[in-house]
Amino acid sequence: MSESERKRRSSKSRQVKAPTIADVAALAGVSIMTVSRVINSEPKVRQSTRETVMAAIARLNYAPNRAARSLAGASQLRLGLLYSNPSEAFLSAFVVGSLEEAGRSDVQIVIQKVEDGEDVCLAVERMVAGGVHGVILPPPLNEANDVLAVLREANVPTVAVTTAVPHAGIATIMIDDRSAAREMTAHLIGLGHRRIGFILGHPALSASGARLEGYRAALAEAGIPFDEALVAQGYFTYRSGLDAAERLLSFEDRPSAIFASNDDMAAAAVAIAHRRGLDVPRDLTVCGFDDVALATTIWPELTTIQQPIVEMSRRAVELLVTMLRNKREDEIGDQRIALEYKLVRRQSDAAPRLSSR
Amino acid sequence: MSESERKRRSSKSRQVKAPTIADVAALAGVSIMTVSRVINSEPKVRQSTRETVMAAIARLNYAPNRAARSLAGASQLRLGLLYSNPSEAFLSAFVVGSLEEAGRSDVQIVIQKVEDGEDVCLAVERMVAGGVHGVILPPPLNEANDVLAVLREANVPTVAVTTAVPHAGIATIMIDDRSAAREMTAHLIGLGHRRIGFILGHPALSASGARLEGYRAALAEAGIPFDEALVAQGYFTYRSGLDAAERLLSFEDRPSAIFASNDDMAAAAVAIAHRRGLDVPRDLTVCGFDDVALATTIWPELTTIQQPIVEMSRRAVELLVTMLRNKREDEIGDQRIALEYKLVRRQSDAAPRLSSR
DNA sequence: TCGGCGAATGTTAGCGGTATCGATAAGCCG
DNA sequence: CGGCTTATCGATACCGCTAACATTCGCCGA
């Protein structure tokens, strides 16, 4: 790691030039075209070759030159990212993921917010008129039927993120919400909890329903009867979590654990618990869903389901780009990509102090 | 404006391609090089020729292709963005800004995280070896002296963001922390508060010192004596805010307001207040600094100083690009750019209930 | 055994600019 | 009026990558 590199450097004063596709090709012992194919994940490359090239890429720390790429390639793609007012924490992770992938695949991302009062469909139409080639929809727009309708009519390939029950013709990136909620609930039951409160998510989103299903499934498996009183409506906002937690904790026989449908609401539950003099997790276990930054900001840090948000939006862009570049827009609607979630255990859960069995 | 254009269009279905430098050259009856010279306002072009070309450019509504330009010109710029473990909310805003600007100015951003145990200097060296042309440093690395030293030695232009007291030879993007803290403190005083607690930021960062100075200045201006007991050490984390707020609120004669050096710690102060049965803002005013997402997530939403994080990182990239493209690396170190902050008032402040004058 | 055929890989021609250097015309001197 | 410098301008070689076409190779059926 010195002779050759040093030579290269000294050749032209100190200018270290970035490695090019040719360098990679030389190192891997293939032609530049093959490297190009690997980079763009085109299908016609033997697995072994692909790996060799990948290794060379990693070794040189090579990144394709965007300028050259867009100059040589077809006209640059533009993707629209339309959002309304989700959890800010969620959104920023989401934006980071799509922007990263956008950089990698050299597409433009047009980010547009739909203001609260505004007509959603108008915003979509504006975007379509602006000539975007595809659209990405984070929650809650991922299931706004009017938006989807406009998009479908305009024949704009669309990918919705975090939709638990996919719509026909709309590609979807998701995790298995039901199974994740089931796992978390089972975890709580395993800890010894029997009265487990549940804070619902926004009723318009299918993920909310899926999470509730998972909660019920785990209860059923453990032979614990479902108690409607332990389920409180929430809307994915901190504020709504405050109200829901207040309700759940005001019962005579309050739950020993609360499972909120997202972290914002879980954080709210922690706040309410503290306000009532309850220690988390000693007196009350609280866990969330999503694992946004907030989960590790507050104290105690939340036990939660880690949803790979950055990865999900990255994949959304990637999917759109692949389809658009390969001119297979027709196929796009049928894609269903489910990513892995993970239960991450932190400090907000514990065994119940007073068993209420 | 019709015959030739129409022909061009109809030749290939409906594809309207953007005019190229060659089109301009043909229309103006000169060579493409001359057009290039006019575009770049190089001196060696006769005035009359220049005008002819300009006219052609205007007529075709020509704009140079950025990709082609940067491809042909100097090698593409690569900027490194090195971070360790700041507030996640801060980081994502930061990344968004730099990525956005990167797309606009057609440079690559190499993002790298320095893991906790890892040797920071090693990470810097790796990045430099990777051939980045400039480096951007968000907090807390913006004032890590060892990092700065390595960078300076390697002669890599660097811009630090949020440094209140600039280092020689390192460009800086900042806001006037002192003045912002002064304004916020004055605001609290204006509300009627006299005993105002202050939670310090991390002692290694100059912004912390500047904010304290601002606090003291406002106190002095109002003729309120500075009370050391009202200042608690924090480290910009939620956790440290918890301890600091606990200290401040345990006094007999507790402050009627707490001004925390960032939002994370302010949120912690709110949590502690609630745990002690104090209503915010009725019993205690709390305000923060930065205006990250957390500030509007919690309840009550925080009154805080809005620091334009996205804009700051955007400017950092822009500054680096300008300097690097103009080959004036020597000048880079002397830049000091201060952006505007804004005091945004939300629900966490109010006049004190029991005057403690 | 051999043509044929599909999969994997290589070759070549640009994409739209800029850098370099050569060409041309004009200006200047003795 | 010839030679030489100067101010303008033009021809051409890339920049790093991809599209389109060419090539190679292994394997199959006749």
Q: Per-residue pLDDT tens, chain B, 357 aa: give them.
A: 333 333 343 333 334 567 888 888 988 888 898 988 887 767 788 888 888 888 888 888 887 777 787 777 655 677 888 888 766 677 878 887 887 787 667 677 777 777 777 788 888 887 776 667 889 999 889 998 888 988 888 888 899 999 999 888 889 999 999 999 999 999 999 999 999 999 999 999 999 999 999 999 999 999 999 999 999 999 999 999 999 999 999 999 999 999 999 999 999 999 999 999 999 999 999 999 999 888 988 999 999 999 999 899 999 988 887 777 655 555 556 789 999 999 999 999 999 986 444
Judged by average pLDDT, the poorest of A20-24, A142-146, B123-127 is: B123-127
The pLDDT mean for chain A works out to: 85
Cα A291 from Cα A296, distance rounded (Å): 8
Tokens of B156: 């890599």
Fold entry, domain A76-176+309-340? Rossmann fold (3.40.50)
CATH class of the domain defined by B78-175+309-340: alpha beta
Smallest CA–C1' separation from A40: which nucleotide? D18
More confident of the two residues B318 and A214: A214
Q: What is the pLDDT of residue B130?
A: 65
Asked whether A302 and A287 are in contact (CB, 8 A), the reply is: yes
Please choose, from the candidates B119, B121, B92, the residue with its C-alpha nearest in 3D space to the C-alpha of residue B111.
Answer: B92
User: In the 3-class helix/strand/coil scheme, how is chain B assigned residue by residue?
Assistant: CCHHHHHHHHHCCCCCCCCCHHHHHHHHCCCHHHHHHHHCCCCCCCHHHHHHHHHHHHHHCCCCCHHHHHHHCCCCCEEEEEECCCCHHHHHHHHHHHHHHHHHHCCEEEEEECCCCCCHHHHHHHHHHCCCCEEEECCCHHHCHHHHHHHHHCCCCEEEECCCCCCCCCEEEEECHHHHHHHHHHHHHHHCCCCEEEECCCCCCHHHHHHHHHHHHHHHHCCCCCCHHHEECCCCCHHHHHHHHHHHHCCCCCCCEEEECCHHHHHHHHHHHHHCCCCCCCCCEEECCECCHHHHHCCCCCEEEECCHHHHHHHHHHHHHHHHHCCCHHHHCCCEEEECCEEECCCCCCCCCCCCC
Q: Identify the three-state secondary structure at position A174.
A: strand
Query: Dihedral (C-alpha) A176, A177, A179, A180: value to the nearest 10 degrees?
Result: 110
Distance measured from the CA of protein residue A236 to the C1' of nucleotide C13, in angstroms: 56
- Give the minimum alpha-carbon distance from A146 to chain B in angstroms, rounded to a whole number: 28
Cα separation, B191 vs A103, in Å, equals: 47
Please, which residues bridge with residue A336 across strands?
A172
Could you say which of 3.40.50.2300, 3.90.1170.40, 3.90.1150.10, 3.30.470.30 is the CATH number of the domain covering A177-307?
Answer: 3.40.50.2300
Please, which pLDDT band fits residue A4 given cuts at 50, 70 and 90? Answer: very low
> For the segment A98-122, what is each residue's pLDDT rounded down to a tens digit?
877 877 776 777 777 787 777 888 8
Cross-chain residue pair B298–A61, CB shorter than 8 Å: no
Give residue limits of the domains in chain B. Answer: 3-64, 78-175+309-340, 177-307
Best residue in A298, A306, A347 for a mutation probing chain B (most B CBs within 10 Å): A298
- Edge-to-edge strand order for the sheet containing B134-137? B108-113, B78-83, B134-137, B158-161, B171-175, B336-339
Place of tokens 């993707």: A79
* Position A71 confidence tier, pLDDT thresholds 50, 70, 90: confident
Q: Do domains B3-64 and B78-175+309-340 have the same CATH topology?
A: no
Please answer whether residues A199 and A234 qualify as being in contact, where contact means their C-beta atoms are separated by less than 8 angstroms: yes
3-state SS assignment for residue A336: strand
Task: Kindly state the DSSP code that residue A293 receives in the 8-state scheme.
Answer: T
**How far is B308 from B179, CA to CA, in rounded Å?**
15
Instruction: Look up residue B127 and give its two tokens.
Output: 């990045």
Binding residues for strand C (Cβ < 7 Å): A 30-34, 37, 43-46, 48-49, 68, 71-72; B 17-18, 20-22, 32-33, 36, 39-40, 62, 64-65, 68-69, 71-74
B336 touches B175 (CB < 8 A):
no
Q: Three-state DSSP class for A290?
A: strand
Residue of A112, A33, A96, A104 lying closest to A66 (CA atoms): A104
Q: What angle do CA A330, A86, B282 make, to 5 degrees?
A: 175
Q: What is the CATH number of domain A3-64?
A: 1.10.260.40
State the Cα–Cα distance between residues A51 and A47, nearest whole angstrom. Answer: 6
Of A88, A109, A298, the CB nearest to B293: A88
* For range A51-64, the mean pLDDT: 84
Helices A21-28 & A47-60 angle (0-180, nearest 10): 120
CB A185 within 8 A of CB A178: no
Name the interface residues of A facing B (CB cutoff 8 Å): 14-18, 61, 63, 65-68, 70-71, 87-89, 92-93, 95-96, 99-100, 102-103, 108-109, 238-239, 242, 264, 267-268, 271, 274-275, 277, 293-294, 296-299
The conformation of residue A331, written as its DSSP 8-state character, comes to H
Cα distance between residue B193 and residue B197, in whole Å: 10
A95 and B92 within 8 Å at the Cβ level: the answer is yes
Report the percent of chain A where pLDDT is more than 70.
88
**In this structure, are residues A272 and A298 in contact, taking their beta carbons and an 8 Å threshold?**
no
Q: Please, which residues have CB within 8 angstroms of residue B187's CB and are 6 or more apart in sequence?
A: B343, B345, B349
Are B42 and B9 spatial neighbours (Cβ–Cβ below 8 Å)? no
Write the DSSP symbol of residue A253: T
Q: What are phi and psi of B205, to 5 degrees?
A: -100, 135
Report how far apart the first and last C-alpha atoms of chain B are (Å, whole number).
Answer: 78
Question: Hunting for tokens 């009856």 — which residue is that?
Answer: B29
**Residue numbers 69-98 of B with CB closer than 7 A to any atom of strand D:** 71-72, 75-76
Strand B342-344 relative to strand B304-306, pairing: antiparallel
Give the Cα separation of B237 and B87 in Å (integer).
7
